[in-house]
Amino acid sequence: MAKQEEQQENVLFRNIISHAKEYGFVYQSSEIYDGLQAVYDYGPYGAELKKNLKDLWWQSMTRLNQEVVGLDSAIFMHPHTWKASGHIDSFNDPMIDNKDSKKRYRADVLVEDKAAEYEKNGEAEKGKALVEELARLLEAEDLEGVRELIVRENIVCPVSGTAEWTEVRQFNLMFSTKVGSVAEDADTIYLRPETAQGIFVNFLNVQKTARMKVPFGIAQIGKAFRNEIVARQFIFRMREFEQMEMQYFVRPGEEMKWYEHWRDARLRWHKALGIPEEKLRLHDHEKLAHYANAALDIEFEFPFGFKEVEGIHSRTDFDLGNHQEVSRKKIQYFDPEINKNYTPYVVETSIGADRTFLMLLCNAYTEEEVGEGDKKKMRTYLKFHPALAPVKAAILPLTKKDGLPDKAREIFDKLKYDFNIIYEEQQSIGKRYTRQDLIGTPFCIAVDYDTLEDDTVTIRHRDTTEQERVHINELHNRLAEATSIRNILESL
């Protein structure tokens, strides 16, 4: 990417972040205490948008697939879970400290940033070679080699400007705490770093109690926690975030068929949200995790480049097999069709709710030049799919007098049970339209003097700003048709 283009992209991302805060979507956590790094809170419109997104994912999984059922497992799990899953031994990032600034960095990110710098300066080959060397060292777990690479490349701490580095150490990303009231006797437990393990340990419970037959899936939405050392790009990488995961249990040997099935289904889902095809791409993992026999990311083009939003992983019988071994409980399924017992293989779809939220926000954020000559100005609005938009419609009386507010409230009261709508009477109608554009409300319903005569209102459409006159009796149907998540589900 050319430097100027990149700077514009950065400005765009900064604008999106400011917009998210100013219009009630996302706030820094504990802001009055200067914030907590990589932790965020969702404001009134952000909370609605996120809820709509999670509902849509849940319904796409469980309603459109009769063989996929839901689960809501606890954040805390028995500590052995994380031994079996491999998280205690290998859920690590290599980190390095600068002795002068006392700042901690991810060693691999320092090297990757250096490689990106080479690329920016027209030395792409040098950058590529550096990334490859890093990959080789990490693969060989040669942490001293990684340190030598950092020193050789003259990488300095951005704060102190020195190259006084400590050795590179592995840093486990799980947060731990103690159970029980007496700390000395208490056991260490972890805040789950992924929701998937709650599904694995409940495999037999769900299979037996919901009488599921392989192939079947278990879907879950919930919080996950990772002590990310490098926390940046707003809600892209957080320490507390939400995942929407589905584990699909299949007959061994049939996993590639299901891997392809879920890859295609999930890509269709992203497009159905209104994400243009050219902003999505699949990225196959070249280097597979030890438990996977296939893996890919669905990436979205954020203002800072194509980045992972969702992972599709064929995880073999690694997780169920390990839980069987560590718990010493048989985790097997009797398949009546082939008259055999086996440990099912798993195809996983794993998507971050916060990261998808960021994708929706970046995709919706629109700055457009409108008007002619002296009247030229920028119009900013959020082009959310109406089914996902936090507020579906705003009911706006033209003035605060002559009975218009009463009529508008009457309309509001009829619609409020079925739609998240807003009533607003302060300021000029133009300013109120602008305000709704900024939070992405697809429809503004203006109540004027004609409404008192003939029960018609004006509907203003967010994206085109076009207006049309409709009868009050039509409003419910019009909103239902335009904002139902059925529009998305039916297109899948």
Q: Which residues contact ligand GAP by CB under 6 A?
A: 194, 196, 226, 228, 237-238, 241, 243, 245, 308-311, 348, 350-352, 354-355
**CB of residue 92 to ligand GAP, shortest distance in Å:** 13
Return the number of the residue (87 or 114) whose C-beta is nearest ligand GAP.
Answer: 87
**CB of residue 334 to ligand GAP, shortest distance in Å:** 27
Strand runs labelled E in 72-190: 92-97, 104-106, 169-172, 176-178, 188-190
Return the number of the residue (153 or 228) whose C-beta is nearest ligand GAP.
Answer: 228
Cβ(476)–Cβ(418) under 8 Å? yes
Helix axes 353-364, 3-22, angle to 10 degrees: 110
**CB of residue 233 to ligand GAP, shortest distance in Å:** 9
**CB of residue 106 to ligand GAP, shortest distance in Å:** 12
Return the number of the residue (51 or 126) whose C-beta is nearest ligand GAP.
Answer: 51
**CB of residue 235 to ligand GAP, shortest distance in Å:** 7
A 10 A CB-CB count for 33 gives 8
Return the number of the residue (309 or 488) whose C-beta is nearest ligand GAP.
Answer: 309
**CB of residue 111 to ligand GAP, shortest distance in Å:** 20
Return the number of the residue (352 or 390) whose C-beta is nearest ligand GAP.
Answer: 352
User: What are phi and psi for residue 292, nearest 5 degrees?
Assistant: -105, 145
**CB of residue 270 to ligand GAP, shortest distance in Å:** 12
Return the number of the residue (165 or 225) whose C-beta is nearest ligand GAP.
Answer: 225
CA atoms within a 13 Å half-sphere pointing along the CA-CB vector of 99 = 6
Q: How far apart are CA 24 and CA 383, in angstroms?
A: 16
User: What are phi and psi for residue 197, nearest 5 degrees?
Assistant: -65, -30
Q: How far apart are CA 388 and CA 368, in angstroms?
A: 22
At 312 the three-state DSSP class reads strand
Q: How far apart are CA 238 and CA 224, in angstroms?
A: 10
Return the number of the residue (226 or 266) whose C-beta is nearest ligand GAP.
Answer: 226
**CB of residue 401 to ligand GAP, shortest distance in Å:** 49
Strand runs labelled E in 5-161: 26-28, 40-42, 68-71, 92-97, 104-106
At 74 the three-state DSSP class reads coil
Q: How far apart are CA 153 and CA 130, in angstroms?
A: 9
Q: How far apart are CA 298 and CA 283, in angstroms?
A: 6
Return the number of the residue (57 or 443) whose C-beta is nearest ligand GAP.
Answer: 57
**CA–CA distances in Å: residue 129 to residues 123, 312, 460:** 10, 28, 55
Cβ(15)–Cβ(234) under 8 Å? no
- Which amino acid, 90? S
DSSP 383: -
**CB of residue 231 to ligand GAP, shortest distance in Å:** 8
Return the number of the residue (57 or 165) whose C-beta is nearest ligand GAP.
Answer: 57
At 446 the three-state DSSP class reads strand
- Residues pairing with 245 in the sheet: 220, 350
Cβ(462)–Cβ(381) under 8 Å? yes
Q: How far apart are CA 404 and CA 401, in angstroms?
A: 6
Return the number of the residue (52 or 441) whose C-beta is nearest ligand GAP.
Answer: 52
At 369 the three-state DSSP class reads strand
**CB of residue 307 to ligand GAP, shortest distance in Å:** 9
Q: How far apart are CA 376 and CA 267, in angstroms?
A: 39
Return the number of the residue (361 or 475) whose C-beta is nearest ligand GAP.
Answer: 361
Closest-by-Cβ residue to ligand GAP is: 352
**CB of residue 125 to ligand GAP, shortest distance in Å:** 29
